[in-house]
Amino acid sequence: MKKVTFIHAADLHLDSPMAGLKHLPSAIFKVLQESTFTAFTTIVDAAIFHAVDFVILAGDLFDGEDRSIRAQTRFRKEMQRLAEKGIPVFAVHGNHDHMEGQWVHMPMPQNVHVFSHEVEVFKHTAENGTSVHLYGFSYPKRHVVERMIDQYTRKNGADLHIGILHGQFEGNSDHDQYAPFRLKDLLGKDFDYWALGHIHKRESLNQQPPIIYPGNIQGRNRKETGAKGCYLVELGSSSAKLEFMEASAVLWNEEQIDASNAKSYHDLYVLCKRMLEDKRQNRKGTILNLVLNNVSLPDHEMKGIITGELLESLQEDETEEEPFVWISNLTVNENRMWDKEKLAHESDFFSELFKTADQFAEDSGCTLALYAHPLARRYLGNLSEGEKHKIAGEAEELLVNLLYKNH
């Protein structure tokens, strides 16, 4: 039986900074800062443990402009560990760690094969005699929008064929269109496995042959939730066994709590605390985005939530906890006391107000002075239409709360 086992990982983003965290205690910050490295070490451990034939890294090994020397030295260290066990690594560079960058290129050990900027083929013969052709290319520059898939051509002379591609599955609009491809393009190549990279969410585009986005190996912000890791693949000419292996050192999660039964600040606190303890059962550090829905407390009870006291008291003990559950964000959705329609009908003023708010997104160019501030602009992205709508909605709610509430 001709078969090989290998690990397929992508989007390591080593030493990628974490975003969207305020007032993080240094202990947790350290763990988080190390998390991409920890996750990668875990993967290398797994490769050694399972004695795989090779490892595929499908692009974005480093985090772009922020590719630190530390990231490279650590990466090299892990590569050396694999070299000692005689496990080759097949890697491509993606849009984030393209080859044009200004960064220092470090020499890698002999077992690391990095594909050049044009599609090329490596031949690898496993210990059991199974030969594999690996196809891939590295991003020569940041933006590669050509349909690179067209350059992949099957070359006979091997038992198995694996395509490595860092690129965008057409039809997914979340990302810029890098090296786009369609499913039928891939299927048409008659390969045995497609090792994709670029999309951070784990996704299997096809069962046979497997076409896999393994996702990134460690969540880096609150949008990248859930378990992250790599795939351990046992590939034969007609069969493939895939096993997802979790590698992330810290979990990012979102949790919704229905607080309609909470009658007091304390009730709410207890509710949140209980949820924290549930989460702690993960046995992994967790960064939590907590949303409290249907909160309806008297104003004096709400005070503790608005001033951030609740968040603080929930965060308080986490520095010492092992594993920690850190609430990075607490969103409170209050039960609306008012009805927009009714209010508009009742009061001309409010109907006018709502009309103005609806138009805000379209003609508010100059009002948000901060976004035009010469210095601030450097650090703030432009607000999209959607964001503006959202801001307008929030402003509207704020206004009604200020004007309508009698007390």
Partner 1 sequence: MKITDIHIYGYGKLTDFSLTDIQSLQVIYGENEAGKSTIMSFIHSILFGFPTKIQSDLRYEPKEGAKYGGRLTATFPDKGNAVIERVKGKASGDVSVLLEDGTRGGEELLSELLHHIDKSMFQSIFSFNIHGLQNVNQVKGEDLGRYLFSAGSLGTDKLVTAEMVLQKELESRFKPNGKKPTLNVKLKELKQLHYELKKAEQQNEQYFTLLCEKEKLEKDIERLHQDLMYSQKELSRIKEWQELSPFMSEEQKLKKEREQYAEVSFPAKGMAVLEKIENLMDPLKGRKASLEARISGIEIDLKKNQPDYEILRSEPLIHAALEGLPLLDKLKQEESELSIKIGNLSEEILNLQERLHFQIEESQLKQIDTSVFMKDKINHAQKRQNSLHTKKQELDERFNEEKSDLEAIEQKIAELKKQLLTEAERSAIKAELNRSADRHMLEKEWQDTQDRLLFLQKAEEKERKNKEEKRYQEKRQLLVFGILFAALFGWGLWSQTWILAFAGLFGTAFCVFMAIKKQPQTNAGFIQEEIKALAKKESLLLEKLKQPDNQFASNLEAKLQRDSQLQNQLRHYHFQLEQSTEKYEKVITAFEKWEKESADLEEELLHFGRQLLLPADISKAHLGEAFGLIEQLKSLFREKKYATERKVAAEKAKNERLHILHQLKGLLDDEPGNVQEIAYQLKKKLKEEMENHIKLCEREAKLNELKVEYSTVLAELNHYEKEYEEQLALAGTETADEYRKKALAAEKLADLDEQIKQITKQINMYTFSQEEIDRYSNLNAPEIAIQARTEEINKLQGKIPSLQSELAEVKYELHLLEEGGTYAELLHKFVLLKAEFEEEAREWAKYAAAKDILEKTISTFKNERMPKMLKQAEEFLSSLTKGNYVRIFPKEEGSGFLIESRTGAVFEAKELSQATAEQIYVSFRLALALTIYGKYPFPIIIDDSFVNFDHLRTERMISLLRNLPGRQVLFFTCHKHLLPYFQEEQIQSVSKEKLSVQL
- In the complex, which residues of this chain contact partner 1 (CB under 8 A)? 15, 17-22, 24, 29, 33, 66, 68-71, 73, 102-104, 221, 343, 346-350, 352-353, 356-357, 360, 364, 367-371, 373, 375-376, 378-381, 383, 387, 391-392, 394-396, 398-399, 402-404, 406
Backbone angles phi, psi at 177, to 5 degrees: -85, 85
Q: Specify burial of residue 239 (Cβ count, 10 A radius: 0-12, 13-18, 19+).
A: exposed
Element (H, E) at 274: helix 265-280
Element (H, E) at 164: strand 160-166
The residue (of 1 and 402) whose beta carbon lies closer to partner 1 is 402
The residue (of 261 and 347) whose beta carbon lies closer to partner 1 is 347
The residue (of 182 and 342) whose beta carbon lies closer to partner 1 is 342
State the nearest-atom distance from the C-beta of 74 to partner 1, in Å: 8
The residue (of 204 and 351) whose beta carbon lies closer to partner 1 is 351
The residue (of 114 and 343) whose beta carbon lies closer to partner 1 is 343
State the nearest-atom distance from the C-beta of 399 to partner 1, in Å: 5
Tokens 């965060």 -> residue: 315
Tell me the pairing of strands 285-295 and 3-9.
Answer: unpaired
Nearest-angstrom CA–CA distance, 172 and 326: 32
Residue 4 CA to chain centroid, in angstroms? 29
Contact (Cβ atoms closer than 8 angstroms) between residue 172 and residue 198: no
The residue (of 70 and 274) whose beta carbon lies closer to partner 1 is 70
State the nearest-atom distance from the C-beta of 33 to partner 1, in Å: 5
Q: Specify burial of residue 220 (Cβ count, 10 A radius: 0-12, 13-18, 19+).
A: buried
Q: Specify burial of residue 69 (Cβ count, 10 A radius: 0-12, 13-18, 19+).
A: exposed
Q: Helices marked H in 18-142 — which ranges?
A: 26-49, 69-84
State the nearest-atom distance from the C-beta of 370 to partner 1, in Å: 6
At CB < 8 A and 24+ separation, what contacts does 109-117 make? 109/76, 109/79, 109/80, 109/83, 110/83, 111/79, 111/82, 111/83, 111/86, 111/87, 112/79, 112/83, 112/88, 113/88, 113/89, 114/138, 115/90, 115/91, 115/164
Question: Two tokens at 318?
Answer: 């986490």
The residue (of 270 and 403) whose beta carbon lies closer to partner 1 is 403
CA dihedral 62, 65, 71, 76 (to 10 degrees): 60
Nearest-angstrom CA–CA distance, 286 and 216: 17
The residue (of 33 and 293) whose beta carbon lies closer to partner 1 is 33
State the nearest-atom distance from the C-beta of 315 to partner 1, in Å: 15
Residues facing 112 on adjacent strands = 89
State the nearest-atom distance from the C-beta of 298 to partner 1, in Å: 19
State the nearest-atom distance from the C-beta of 375 to partner 1, in Å: 6
The residue (of 109 and 236) whose beta carbon lies closer to partner 1 is 109
Tokens 């378990």 -> residue: 227
Nearest-angstrom CA–CA distance, 229 and 244: 7
The residue (of 106 and 145) whose beta carbon lies closer to partner 1 is 106
The residue (of 75 and 194) whose beta carbon lies closer to partner 1 is 75
Side chain identity, residue 214? P
State the nearest-atom distance from the C-beta of 58 to partner 1, in Å: 24
State the nearest-atom distance from the C-beta of 345 to partner 1, in Å: 9
State the nearest-atom distance from the C-beta of 208 to partner 1, in Å: 41
State the nearest-atom distance from the C-beta of 356 to partner 1, in Å: 5
